[in-house]
Amino acid sequence: MMPRPLDRLLRPQTIAVFGGREARRVIEQCDRMGFAGEIWPVHPKLDEVLGRSCYRSVSDLPSAPDAAFVGVNRTLTVEIVRSLSEAGAGGAVCYASGFSEATTELSDGAELQQALLDAAGDMPILGPNCYGLINGLDGALLWPDQHGMQRIERGVAILTQSSNIAINLTMQTRGVPIAYVVTAGNQAQTSLADVACALIDDPRVTAVGLHVEGFGDLSALERLAAMARRSRKPVVVLKVGRSEQAKRAAVSHTASLAGSDAVADAVLARLGLGRVQTLPALLETLKLLHVAGPLASHSISSMSCSGGEASLMADAAVGRNVEFPALQPQQLPRLRRVLGEMVTLSNPLDYHTFVWGDLARQTEAFSAMFEAGYALNLVVLDFPRGDRCDASEWAMTADAVIVAAAATGALAGLLATLPENMPEPVADRLMANGIIAFCGIEEAITAVEVAAGIGQAWDRPPPLPLLDVSSINGEIETLTEADAKAELAAFGLPIPKGLLASSPGQAAEQAERLGFPVVLKALGIAHKTEAGAVVLNLEDIEAVSNAAAAMPPNAGYLVEKMIDPPVAELIVGAVRDPVFGLSLTLGAGGIFVELLDDSVILPLPATKTDIHAAISRLKLTKLIYGYRGRPKGDLEAAVGAVSATADYVVKNAARLEELDINPLMVLPEGRGVAMVDALIRRRSSTG
């Protein structure tokens, strides 16, 4: 049964509260925020709470409430939720714990959570095991504790499973205008993505931030991404668990490359959802997205009155998808005129202190920088302590930034290198004037990188729906290399000419039939190089026979013609992630898989354009392009082979557990590619 829309729960006109202390706090918080609707306390014994008459049960309420805060024990929660659902309430926050999050401590936790879902029916619920929500736009709170929010007219929405993190985020003093905070607890029925979809529909919400402990329904995440793109309201995700790798045996090299966090990165990027790694970065990115939305490019300018700050800015961009383009020729005369001869004109720019304390000259200098078309213009400025210092000249600099941005129409930000050096009143004033009040260099660079990445994703056509993650339950079988190659060859992947053998003597005979030189491989052994199960460049019958006899016990032999030396070697593989299903891994192949740490993850299905872009991100691509005069590789053939592999994975997705092509040899331009080793693990069709 699909829950009803969340509108009444998120933007209620009437609120019922159940319980004692927590219910009283909900009323207190609503009163503090000036909630204009009706609040109905429900208690079996009390006559009134904070001047409001108490009702004895759901059936005694004047009407079905839009929203309810259920702050009672876990078993009574189920009963009250059932009564609310039968009465036609708009939704409920389930505060109690002791459900599926506590199965280790309580044997009936999972059973009780299912009972709660059954009781709710199609009525939306948040939780259980959560604090609820704060609507700072309408002053409606289903929230049993203190918080740091205030009424605003428009702003960002922040969603998290963790109630404590939600409280902490409301206490920020960085100038982030928070419209909603919502906690989802166990996400028993309503996921963070479901709530985010509902909040994006609110015209007063400018951007959405998610703190995610784990993804559940991928279709909800895809729906959120589509809504964000359509409404032009960006979403940024803080996904915890970077250190978690999929708990699987690394039979193939691919498995060692495709950790679940790397797959999460790739899926979020494909969907156009930004990703950050820390709470400060989440807040700073939301500030930028609130003011400007996605950025048109990764180009930024920076000005500061210190060479040390300019160096810090330049260093922060190293290894990040952010650039400080050189100043344009038309900027130089104006900057030279206002800054004087002693200033080195560059980006980042140390403008010294010659214009300090001069509003007109600062405005002129900032305007000259802002007019060059950078996606974002930063001015580094740390305010002094207000309790010990006079900040009037710093305030003048902020005024100059505001005036210059207004005069040029450019996007600008004022950046304090230390968060404590951006006073909240200053941040509020800057944000009200369309100037992003950044706290921290690394966080600001992250915000630019993420906002530009979202902009790039939205400029591309909408992505294809992600591959279904479901699979059958049969036993896992591992194909021999010969069988794996035969399956992939049927999809168009070129393989060397080869013959099978069951003994060293037969291997020598098969080698003579193929013609020398040959490569000899033992079948049924993963990681053949490490196991001594592959020998290259065998030139005669005796060499083949001796090599076969020296190999470890195996399921037979594969004799193949040697391939001419390649320009480059790729690994192409797929591993089933427990959350995201199958995706493709591309990287430097052969013996360099782990050594070079050069790989990308490509969610499926993928177009040839996607594949070309993924290959171009590899360091190895320099070899394919013809590094230092060496022959170019057959890039189009490589793209075609990867595309054929992707087709195989998509068509066999229900059974496939793991695929590893290593290496895929990229031959000189015009000579194609060759798949010289392959491993396939899949579920048997019966089982």
Task: Specify which residues 587 forms β-bridges with.
Answer: 571, 599
What's the CA gap between 425 and 421, in Å, rounded? 12
Averaged pLDDT for residues 167-182: 98
Give residue 250's pLDDT band: very low, low, confident or very high (50, 70, 90).
Answer: very low
Of the listed ranges 338-352, 459-473, 498-512, 636-650, the least confidently predicted one is 459-473
Contact 380, 440 (CB under 8 A): no
Give residue 66's pLDDT band: very low, low, confident or very high (50, 70, 90).
Answer: very high
Query: The whole model's pTM is what?
Result: 0.90
Give residue 595's pLDDT band: very low, low, confident or very high (50, 70, 90).
Answer: low
The pLDDT of residue 596 is above 80: no
Helix (H) or strand (E) holding 87: helix 74-87
What's the CA gap between 87 and 292, in Å, rounded? 44
What's the CA gap between 102 and 108, in Å, rounded? 9
Task: Specify which residues 141 forms β-bridges with.
Answer: 134
What's the CA gap between 646 and 35, in Å, rounded? 54
The pLDDT of residue 634 is above 60: yes
Averaged pLDDT for residues 133-154: 97
Give residue 141's pLDDT band: very low, low, confident or very high (50, 70, 90).
Answer: very high
The pLDDT of residue 171 is above 80: yes
Kindly write down the DSSP assignment for every residue of 622-674, as one continuous string.
HHHT-GGGPPPB-HHHHHHHHHHHHHHHHHTTTTEEEEEEEEEEEPBTTS-EE
What's the CA gap between 566 and 669, in Å, rounded? 10
Helix (H) or strand (E) holding 413: strand 412-416
What's the CA gap between 396 and 404, in Å, rounded? 12
pLDDT tens, position by position, 116-131: 999 999 999 999 999 9
Give residue 254's pLDDT band: very low, low, confident or very high (50, 70, 90).
Answer: very low
The pLDDT of residue 274 is above 70: yes
Higher pLDDT, 589 or 194: 194
Contact 488, 648 (CB under 8 A): yes
Give residue 401's pLDDT band: very low, low, confident or very high (50, 70, 90).
Answer: very high
pLDDT tens, position by position, 329-359: 999 999 999 999 999 999 999 999 989 999 9
Percent of the chain past pLDDT 90, that is, above it, reads: 84
Selection from 215, 216, 218 nearest residue 241 by Cα:
215
The pLDDT of residue 664 is above 70: yes
Contact 69, 93 (CB under 8 A): yes
Averaged pLDDT for residues 205-220: 88
Please give the distance of CA 657 from its chain centroid, rounded to a whole number. 24
Of the listed ranges 97-106, 124-133, 479-488, the least confidently predicted one is 97-106
Helix (H) or strand (E) holding 67: strand 67-71
The pLDDT of residue 259 is above 60: no
Please give the distance of CA 363 from its chain centroid, rounded to a whole number. 38
What does the pLDDT read at residue 512? Answer: 93
Give residue 215's pLDDT band: very low, low, confident or very high (50, 70, 90).
Answer: confident
Nearest 5°: the CA angle 128, 130, 135 is 120
Coarse DSSP helix, strand, coil percentages of the chain, rounded to the nearest 5 percent:
40, 20, 40
Averaged pLDDT for residues 137-143: 97
What does the pLDDT read at residue 247? Answer: 37
Contact 648, 659 (CB under 8 A): yes
The pLDDT of residue 251 is above 50: no
What does the pLDDT read at residue 474? Answer: 85
Selection from 218, 219, 228 nearest residue 197 by Cα:
228
What does the pLDDT read at residue 593? Answer: 67
What's the CA gap between 192 and 91, in Å, rounded? 15
The pLDDT of residue 686 is above 70: no
Selection from 188, 236, 238, 175 nearest residue 216 by Cα:
188
For β-strands 67-71 and 14-19, DSSP reports them as parallel
Cis peptide before 504 (omega within 30 of 0): no
What's the CA gap between 501 and 488, in Å, rounded? 21
Contact 259, 234 (CB under 8 A): no
Of the listed ranges 100-109, 169-178, 394-403, 612-621, the least confidently predicted one is 100-109
pLDDT tens, position by position, 198-210: 999 999 999 999 9
What does the pLDDT read at residue 245? Answer: 41
Q: Please, what are the domains in the chain? A: 6-277 (3.40.50.261), 292-459 (3.40.50.261), 497-561 (3.30.1490.20), 568-683 (3.30.470.20)
Selection from 393, 333, 396, 390 nearest residue 363 by Cα:
396
Residues 6 or more apart whose CB falls under 8 angstroms from that of 567 comprise 623, 624, 630, 631, 632, 633, 634, 666, 667, 668
What does the pLDDT read at residue 578? Answer: 81
What does the pLDDT read at residue 77? Answer: 97
Task: Specify which residues 34 forms β-bridges with.
Answer: none
Q: What's the N-to-C CA distance of the chain in angstroms?
A: 31
What's the CA gap between 335 and 303, in Å, rounded? 12
What does the pLDDT read at residue 139? Answer: 97
User: Over the chain, what is the mean pLDDT?
Assistant: 92
What does the pLDDT read at residue 374? Answer: 97
Of the listed ranges 230-234, 317-321, 504-508, 682-686, the least confidently predicted one is 682-686
Rg (CA), the chain: 31
